[in-house]
Structure 1
Amino acid sequence: MTATSPARAGHRSAEEIGRTPAGPRSLPELGRTRDVPLPDVRATTLDNGLRILAARRAGAPMAEVALRIPAAAPGATGDPAYTAGMELLAETMPAGTASRDRVGIDDELAAVGAELGVGVDPEWLQVGASSLSDGLPRTLAVLADLLTAATYPDAEVLRERDRLGERIAVARSQPRTVAREALQRKRFGDHPIASEMPTAEAVAQIGPDRVRALHADAVVPGGARLTIVGDLDPDAAIETVAGHLGGWTGGHAARELSAPPAVEPGDLELVHRPGSVQSQLRLTAQGLSREDPRYTAFQIANLVFGGYFSSRWMENVREDKGYTYGAHSGQEFVPGGAVLSVDTDVASDVTAAALLETRYELGRMVAVPPTEQEVESARRYAIGSLLISLDSQSALASTLSALDAVGLGVDWLRERPERLEEVTVDEVAAAAAELFAPARFTGVVVGDADVVGPRLRALGGVS
């Protein structure tokens, strides 16, 4: 039917379908989502300590590999040289092995539609790979070669060292990086978890011999876990991994990061950033681990406060006051638990006002508990976002690996929607009153102290 042709007999437009003589049709209520369609997971641990998880998801002819190796710094405090060395190791591990140079590695991976990347943080060295399912054996062969025979050629290490130093220098000039480092120090002091990014000066001191020594020390199988998700037979995948990595050895088990100290409530710290036209507000409090019986109620309470676009805090500081483009609250999981983060960026002239409104919304979570409508909206969002977050093979592989590291399996994910459906308004209100009380928080404000300092100090609770 063209735009000018008469309507077909019996045809109704979308507007006509959506209305009745009594007015617009009401939308049906959303049904309950009781489980997530997830595959079974096979798991085994090799004699060298490498744990393998494999699951079949046949939506695409691809396989995702997620390898996580505990790689904590030795000692009880952060070591800038270790952090710098591990960053350079992650950058240059794919540069070559005893039998493959960088070009050969890239060509071999490309032949099976594969990509491979390496990253590091204070807790983990992570290697991710994606390939066509029938190319998994070749991808694993390259991975095994990198883990057991990476050579870190001098020229490659020195070239990447210069590039990494330049990138770090640029990153450290950014206000969000300054705020993140200040927040981590405020939360965790000199614990190694606070050492997320080295200085360019520390990177410049790392040579190829140091990187090779770090590989021998940190890239070991004991305590590592490799997760594979894709269009594959799990038993065959485990056998393939064992064939390639069963001979991987190490002089000791991988070092796991110790639990950091609990976040202590207290005044916010004002961090001076001269000439800044914006301020970064970063509040934090102790969070909850996934195993805590209050976790589900806390998740909903967090969404109500600031965990998604329709949250109370976002409505206040963005939609009503116009202080910011975005405000967000959420958890970061750390060994032994989690921390709650509340962050937003605002113009210098409204820094004190934004902090006042943030404290007000935290207090309102205690004094004015989440309503049934707020809880239901957050519940639907939590269930929907969970389903979306697990839609891809790579996301599922990463999630399964992270859960396995804390002793949780795929059943925890399967049962998650039902737990979200069953949590009550009263339970959410109790979690909100306990965990969002303003007195539980500390944090930092990064900005020009000469501009924002007087009003912040007048508010109190800022030092």
Structure 2
Amino acid sequence: MTQATHRSAEEIGRTDAGPRPLPPLGEPRPLRTPDVVDTELPNGLRLIAARHGAVPMVEARLRIPFAGEDAAHAARAEVLAETVLTGTATRDRVQVDTDLAAVGGELHAVVDPERLSFVGSALSSGLDTLLEVLADALTGAAYTSDEVAGERDRLVERLAVARSQPRVIAREELQRHRYGDHPFVREVPQASDVGEVGPEHVRELHARSVLPRGATLVLVGDLDPHTAVDEVARVLGGWRSDATAAELPALPELLGGDVRLVHRDGAVQSQLRLSAQGLHRTDERYPALQIANLSFGGYFSSRLVENIREDKGYTYGAHSSFEFTKANGTILVDADTASEVTAAALLEMRYEFGRMALVPPTDAEVESARQYAIGGLLTSTSSQAGMASMLATLAAAGLDHHWLSAHPDRLRAVTAEQVAEAARLYSPTRFTGVVVGDAAKIGDGLAALGGVVLP
């Protein structure tokens, strides 16, 4: 018997005439629009219920606007999110976990400067239990002294660790550089502020701010949307208030300018964080900007990645993305580099900004980014969890499922000329930001480069 000869992947991929040609990309399948009911309940809660997928599960996303002007708000909000599901007037922590486990469910809460969010899931047959546990927390969270003290102390320890992480430091410095003392900046509270939070503070914040009017609940899964509306109205009907949940104040327009160097003693790496004013999802130019951003640095085949990762080797990863609030959109560009190449990396990033504005993406770049954008949207919304998160995100922006179902066609309709126009938003003069690193190691290089404010 003749022994099989092992061939490498490169050998398999070649013929006598050269490399085997890649098959052409197939036409992406259309985005399947879920069966959706979008309504407002008598208590002011917006409910979006969608039938999606064959898995007998339901995903839940509740988003409550939760902004606060007080400097102590961020600390109290974090403690609230950690303790809101640790017991109610009728369920202790163990009973909450037991009831959810009985229906294959889970539920947790997170908070940021914009909103308090509850993220959960359960078997479709256990939707009523998931809703009842949620309603119990919304209307009767106990915030006992023991639970608040325990979660508060654990949170203080986690914050101490988080605040030593370079990426957390860089994010906070970028926020402060962009928006000064705006409430949006308070993403990570000070451990000392958290340490002063007591049960009375959390109960007062809950009563004042955990409100249905202005909030949105999204349910996605193997469910009848109309029946779900009736079930939610029954279970959450007792969650009421005449007040409206507090929205984050509008962000000021982000203006370009010098980059600020933030000294981090002994750092062997630098964090580069640059940002410019972008467009909101509601802007008619947004699909073109989405494709331009992918071409610039939004995926692995982008110009920025090819330059400072693949060609120069300055960073393991560079990224360009969008950040949205309710009425605002910004462009974020980030990379982490070794100290000795920090100035060179910043130079190349500026070069790519200028090249993007002056030499817009080619037809091939546009088409590649277009296919990636459409495919990414289809993939991200194919699961029940992905669809639930997307519908909740769009609802916060004032959009609905109709925008989602029409977006692939908007991307297909974008022309190279429209992408070129959007690419002008990447002009170097429109960007500002921070570099976090050891000033003794990187200060001279950045000073020679110019456009950097040294400490």
What TM-score, normalized to structure 2? 0.95
Give me the whole-angstrom Cα distance separating, in 1, the residues matched to 2:156 and 2:97: 24
Give me the whole-angstrom Cα distance separating, in 2, the residues matched to 1:346 and 1:25: 37
Give me the whole-angstrom Cα distance separating, in 2, the residues matched to 1:140 and 1:335: 27
Quote the offset at 1:454 in angstroms.
1.2
Aligned-CA RMSD value: 2.0
Give me the whole-angstrom Cα distance separating, in 2, the residues matched to 1:82 and 1:19: 62
Task: Check conservation: 1:35, 1:418, Cα contact below 8 A.
Answer: no
Task: Check conservation: 2:326, 2:396, Cα contact below 8 A.
Answer: no
Match of 1:353 in 2: 344
SS at match of 2:273: strand
Aligned pairs (5 A) from 1:28-39: 28-33=23-28, 35-39=30-34
Q: Tell me whether 1:58 sits opposite 2:48 in the alignment.
A: no
Tell me which amino acid in the other structure corresponds to 1:421.
Answer: R
Give me the whole-angstrom Cα distance separating, in 1, the residues matched to 2:373 and 2:323: 17
TM-superposition CA deviations, 1:343-363 (whole Å, max 9, x none)? 000011100000001001111
Tell me which amino acid in the other structure corresponds to 1:163.
Answer: R
Give me the whole-angstrom Cα distance separating, in 2, the residues matched to 1:3 and 1:88: 70
Give me the whole-angstrom Cα distance separating, in 2, the residues matched to 1:26 and 1:355: 37
Aligned pairs (5 A) from 1:64-83: 64-73=59-68, 75=69, 79-83=70-74
* Residue of structure 1 aligned with 2:36, choices 41, 65, 82: 41
Task: Check conservation: 1:64, 1:130, Cα contact below 8 A.
Answer: yes
Q: Tell me whether 1:369 sits opposite 2:360 in the alignment.
A: yes
* Residue of structure 2 aligned with 1:254, choices 245, 263, 278: 245
Q: Tell me whether 1:390 sits opposite 2:385 in the alignment.
A: no
Aligned pairs (5 A) from 1:249-398: 249-398=240-389
Quote the offset at 1:296 in angstroms.
0.8
Aligned pairs (5 A) from 1:189-208: 189-208=180-199
Q: More deviation in 379-388 or 82-91?
A: 379-388
Match of 2:404 in 1: 413
Quote the offset at 1:30 in angstroms.
2.7
Match of 2:99 in 1: 108
Q: More deviation in 41-50 or 146-155?
A: 41-50
Match of 2:136 in 1: 145
Quote the offset at 1:192 in angstroms.
0.6
Give me the whole-angstrom Cα distance separating, in 2, the residues matched to 1:108 and 1:134: 13
Match of 2:450 in 1: 460
Q: More deviation in 416-425 or 311-320?
A: 416-425
Quote the offset at 1:18 in angstroms.
9.2
SS at match of 1:160: helix
Where structure 1 has 5 or more consecutive residues not aligned to the other structure, the ranges are 6-13
Give me the whole-angstrom Cα distance separating, in 1, the residues matched to 2:52 and 2:326: 30
Give me the whole-angstrom Cα distance separating, in 2, the residues matched to 1:354 and 1:414: 39
Task: Check conservation: 1:258, 1:335, Cα contact below 8 A.
Answer: no
Q: More deviation in 81-90 or 29-38?
A: 29-38
Tell me which amino acid in the other structure corresponds to 1:239.
Answer: D
Task: Check conservation: 1:80, 1:202, Cα contact below 8 A.
Answer: no
Give me the whole-angstrom Cα distance separating, in 2, the residues matched to 1:132 and 1:71: 29
Aligned residues, how many? 449
Quote the offset at 1:459 in angstroms.
0.7
Give me the whole-angstrom Cα distance separating, in 1, the residues matched to 2:280 and 2:422: 14
Task: Check conservation: 1:32, 1:421, Cα contact below 8 A.
Answer: no
SS at match of 1:323: coil
Where structure 2 has 5 or more consecutive residues not aligned to the other structure, the ranges are none
Match of 1:187 in 2: 178
Q: 1:368 to 1:152 in 2, by over 3 A?
A: same
Give the ranges of 4+ consecutive aligned residues of structure 1 lying more than 4 Å apart after TM superposition.
Answer: 2-5, 14-28
SS at match of 2:452: coil
Give me the whole-angstrom Cα distance separating, in 1, the residues matched to 2:17 and 2:334: 47
Q: More deviation in 41-50 or 102-111?
A: 41-50
Tell me which amino acid in the other structure corresponds to 1:279.
Answer: S
Match of 1:11 in 2: none
Tell me which amino acid in the other structure corresponds to 1:414.
Answer: S
Give me the whole-angstrom Cα distance separating, in 2, the residues matched to 1:4 and 1:359: 56
Task: Check conservation: 2:251, 2:328, Cα contact below 8 A.
Answer: no
Give me the whole-angstrom Cα distance separating, in 2, the residues matched to 1:173 and 1:17: 49
Q: Tell me whether 1:441 sits opposite 2:436 in the alignment.
A: no
